[in-house]
Every structure is written in C-alpha cells, then in structure tokens.
Amino acid sequence: MSAPRGGSSEPAGAWEAVIGLEIHVQLRTDRKLFCADSTRFGDAPNANVCPVCLGLPGALPVLNREAVELAVRAALAFGCEIHETSIFARKNYFYPDLPKGYQISQLERPLATGGQFTVDGRDGKAGAAVRIRRIHMEEDAGKSLHDRFPRATAVDLNRTGTPLIELVSEPDLRSPEDTRAYLQQVKQVLEYLDVSDCNMEEGSLRVDANVSVRPVGSEELGTKTEVKNMNSFSGVERAIRCELVRQQELLSRGGRVEHMTLLWDEVRGEVRPMRTKEESHDYRYFPDPDLPPLVLLPAMVERIRSELPELPANRRARFREEYGLPAYDSEVLTSSRALADYFEEVVGGVDDAKQASNWVMGPVMATLKERAWAPEEYPVPPPTLARVIQLVQGGTVSTSVGRDLLKKVIETGRSPDEIVEGEGLAQVRDEGQLEGWVDEILAAHPDEVSRFKGGEAKLQGYFMGLIMKASRGKADPGEVVRLLAAKLRR
Ligand SMILES: [Zn+2]
C-alpha cells in the first residue's frame, strides 16, 4: 500500500492523511528564560546551572525580556494575534532531567493564537494553507544521557530553563511531502527573523507530529497518534509516511487506531510505541505563583512589528516580479537571508538580473558547497563579483576566464582588473592574432579539414576547442566562429 498523497487524483476508497505539527524552537538568547545562566551549546555538563533553574527553595524566576521580544517577533511573522496578557503556568511531572518537578510553560492563556502560514509550492504557486493554533513560551528541560556511562544514565542540566517557543499548527497538512515543505519553510522564516539558529542537530528545532487518517471525503477526524524523535527533514517525512501506512493497514483490516505516543527509529526506519508509563501524564497545570502575568505594552508590540524583516515568501515573489527571475532562481536565491542579500547587492552593480542570478547560483554556490562555507562567509564582496560579471558581459574576458578570475580573487585578494592586467587575461579580438591561432590549428589538422569539407559539420566544435586551447582561453569565441566559418568555406 502506498502512502496517501492528498489531492484530487486519489482513487475511491483511498485514505486521506491529517497531520499537524508541534514545533519547539530554541530562542536565540545568551541567557536562560528565568535566570542569567548561559545557553551556550557544548559546555561541560552541568556547568550552567543555578538555584533558579535547579528549583532550589527560595529561588525566584525573573523573565528574560529578550526572549519575550523574540517570541513576539515570531508570533507576528506568522500572523498571530498577540495577547496583551498571557500567563505562565506550571506543567507538573516527574523526570530525572527536570529537577524542579515542573516545567514553566503557558497553557490556557498563551502569548499568541490564530496565525496563518501558506506554504510556497513549486513554480511560485501557493501550496498548503496551514492555520497556526498558538505560539506559546516555555522553558526547556534538561537532558538524560543514556550513552555516556555503561548501565547508567547521566543527567546534564545545562539545557534546563533554555527559552523556547512552541508553534502548534492545526491539522491542516495532507501529506508527508507537504509537511516537510511546511517545516522547511517555517524554519526559513525563523532564520530570516533571526529568532533562532534552528540547528536541528543541536536540538534548537524539534518537531512532534500528530498523525491520523480518514477516508477521502470524510470531514471527521480519525484517532491520532503522536510521533516524536524526528531529527531531520527527511526523518519527519519518512516517520510520518511510515505511521500513515501503519494506520491505513490497521484500519483496512478493520482494526482501530489507539491514541498513543510513538518514537521514530531513524536507523531501523520504523515507529514504535513509547512505554505507556512515560506518557500517561496528568500535568495538573496551574498558574506559576512566582511569576506575575506577562503584560505586553501595545507600543512594544507595534515597535517589533515595524522592525520585522521582509519574509522569505514575499522576497521570493519580489525576486520574480522586480528582477523577472524564474521561480526556481527566486527559490534558490532566497533560501537564506544572507544569500538573498548578497544577490541583491550584486544585482545593483550589473544591469542583467538573470546574469547576476546565474553567477550567484553557479560559481558562487559551487564554491560555498566546495568549501562548506555559509553564504555570509563568502569572501568576494558583491561589487567585486559585479565587476567580474561586467568584464564578461563587456567581452573583456570569456565566461570561463571569468570563473577562473573569481577563484583568483578569492586566492589572492586582488581586484579582478588587477588580475586581468597582471596576467594578460583579456580576451583577444585582434583579427591578426586570432587568425594566427586559427591558421595554426587548421594547418596542423589537414585530415580533419578535408573531412569537414566533406560534410562532417560537427568537427567545427573540435576546431573551436583546439583554438581556444591554443589561445589559453583568451580568444573571443564569437570572432573565432566567424573566422573559422570564413576559412573552411573556401
Ligand atoms: Zn539558572
């Protein structure tokens, strides 16, 4: 049985997937949510703890203002209504990595509700429309380390109290592919907003999925399961597909889906139930008596709104309209804010946006990949790349020499003009010099010349290659083609 894909092409009797995501995002602050401990990743275990995050008697939490501002920024970007008053509540449960015995979160009165996010589909078309139920703030728990010591579990509390937002969607997603696209684009928005580093490997972005199936055409929701422990985009897609197949098979055999929590096993590619003891919580939420209600001044919310950057979807649309770029180019160039900024600075220095796009998507991105650089680490300033493009467009150097030139700029730090001048790279258009190369090659290959004259037209490319080589890439290809045609016609 194949996984449901949604859409109108489903055969009768097929199942429809119903998927919602809960995304936990670590906010990019130096300090924890309620104390001054560092949130740095990778410090020695239990180096960053204090009486507040350990929950020692008498310690009182103080809310981190920066974290609130970041949470508001995210909520505004997803079109949520920001509530003037929200309440921090204690979520009570026992776990070794939770020394307080409760986690501070928000339940009945969250920071924000009622948002909306439209996934950008392929070719600039609108994809899935996903309602955002709520965005609330909470602190993270610590970490149990099961692989540190043999037959023992270690606890690292550095993460305890790290500020998070939880972004909860309505179950509006209909396929594993759409879910992956949604998650990728949500991550992109969060990165553009600079509210989180979104590093999935370090746990800065964690995802749980609520998954159910129902017969196509049905409006009722089936019993859902919760899938946890997905650590990558592909993991999310595979885990959900796997769980959908399991539910469909169960229902098709006349069985019933039971509400439970499942863990995704990346290595074995399967979901398995979490022990019920671990999931049967009654959290007994109540407002945290140590924290007053969080009251946001409208002026502060408006200031944050006015400071929102242009979001990826808007930027993609603008790249298509303002620069006339294909949807694919717009998508690639806006994949990170730094890359999009870079492109826009390059385009300011050349008159052909598509050329600028080709150079950024071609040689620039190839170098980023080769050197494992982030776009912000690319050492060629935009005006310098613009100058290389101008030299190619103006015919001073060929495209391939232009590409080499860019590499030499990185290696030597010299300007493109200096390198062209110093190494004599300028394209040769002098008729006499070009003719010299052409005659040399034709004279050295009499057999090929007669075969060409006998009708083997494809040999022209062969001659071109040899002539370009003889000129060390400096011959103007257009002129060579013209000369070659003139000489071989005789
Ligand atoms: Zn602390």
For 66-86, how does the pLDDT look when each residue is reduced to its tens digit (9 = 90+)?
A: 999 999 999 999 999 999 999
Query: What CATH topology corresponds to 431-489?
Result: Arc Repressor Mutant, subunit A (1.10.10)
Q: Ligand 1 centre from 99 Cα, in Å? A: 12
Å from CA of 159 to ligand 1 middle: 10
At 244, the pLDDT band (50, 70, 90 cuts) reads very high
> DSSP 3-state assignment of 167?
strand
Quick: pLDDT tens for 316-362. 999 999 999 999 999 999 999 999 999 999 999 998 999 999 999 99
How much distance in Å is there from the Cα of 150 to the middle of ligand 1?
A: 29
- Give 67 Cα–ligand 1 centroid separation in angstroms: 15
Residue 18 has what pLDDT?
97
Answer with the residue of higher pLDDT: 338 or 423: 338
CA 83–ligand 1 middle distance (angstroms): 27
pLDDT band of 276, cuts 50, 70, 90: low
Q: What local confidence, expressed as pLDDT, does residue 3 receive? A: 44
Please give the C-alpha separations between residue 304 and each of 43, 171, 334, 416, in angstroms, as whole numbers.
32, 29, 23, 42
Residue 4's pLDDT band (cuts 50, 70, 90):
very low
Amino acid at 451: R
Distance CA 186, CA 191 (A): 9
Distance between Cα 406 and ligand 1 center (Å): 49
Q: Where in the chain is the domain with CATH 1.10.10.410?
A: 431-489
* Residue 429 CA to ligand 1 centre (angstroms): 71
- The yes-or-no verdict on residue 462 having pLDDT over 50 is yes
Q: For strand 261-265 and strand 225-230, is the pairing parallel, antiparallel, or unpaired? A: parallel
Instruction: Show the tokens assigned to 144.
Output: 């149990």
In contact, 231 and 200? CB cutoff 8 Å: yes
Distance from the CA of 162 to the center of ligand 1, in angstroms?
9
Nearest to 272 by CA among 241, 242, 238, 248: 242
407-416: b (≥16 Cβ within 10 Å) or e: ebbeeeeeeb
**Distance, CA 93 to ligand 1 centroid (Å)?**
19
- Predicted local distance difference test score (pLDDT) of residue 457: 86
Ligand 1 centroid to 91 CA: how many Å?
A: 18
- How many whole angstroms from 35 Cα to the centroid of ligand 1? 5
272 in helix, strand or coil? strand
Q: What is the mean pLDDT of residues 172-186?
A: 96
Q: How far is the CA of 158 from the centre of ligand 1 (A)?
A: 8
The total of other beta-carbon atoms located within 10 Å of residue 272's CB is 9
Amino acid at the residue 14: A
Give the confidence band of 8 by pLDDT, cuts at 50, 70, 90. very low
Mean pLDDT of 155-168: 97
Count helices and strands (H / E) in the chain: 18, 16
Position 189 scores a pLDDT of 97
Q: If you measure from the C-alpha of residue 33 to the centroid of ligand 1, how many angstroms do you get, rounded to a whole number?
A: 9
pLDDT band at 472 (very low <50, low <70, confident <90, very high): confident
pLDDT grade for 280, boundaries at 50, 70 and 90: low
Q: Is the pLDDT of residue 126 over 60?
A: yes
98 C-alpha to ligand 1 centroid (Å): 13
Q: Rounded to the nearest whole angstrom, what is the distance from the C-alpha of residue 287 to the centroid of ligand 1?
A: 21
Angle between helices 446-453 and 459-470 (to 10 degrees): 140
Is the pLDDT at 13 greater than 80? The verdict is: no
In this prediction, residue 307 carries a pLDDT of 97
| Average pLDDT value for the chain | 92
- The Å distance, Cα 51 to ligand 1 centre, comes to 6
- DSSP state letter for 124: G
Residue 275: its pLDDT value, please?
Answer: 67
Cα 48 to ligand 1 centre (Å)? 7
Tell me the CA–centroid distance for residue 362 and ligand 1, in Å. Answer: 47
Q: How far is the CA of 34 from the centre of ligand 1 (A)?
A: 7
| pLDDT confidence band for 134 (50 / 70 / 90) | very high
**Alpha-helix runs per DSSP H in 64-214:** 65-77, 176-193
The reported pTM is 0.84
Distance of CA 427 from the midpoint of ligand 1 (Å) = 65
- Contact assessment for residue 388 and residue 420, using Cβ atoms and an 8 Å cutoff: no
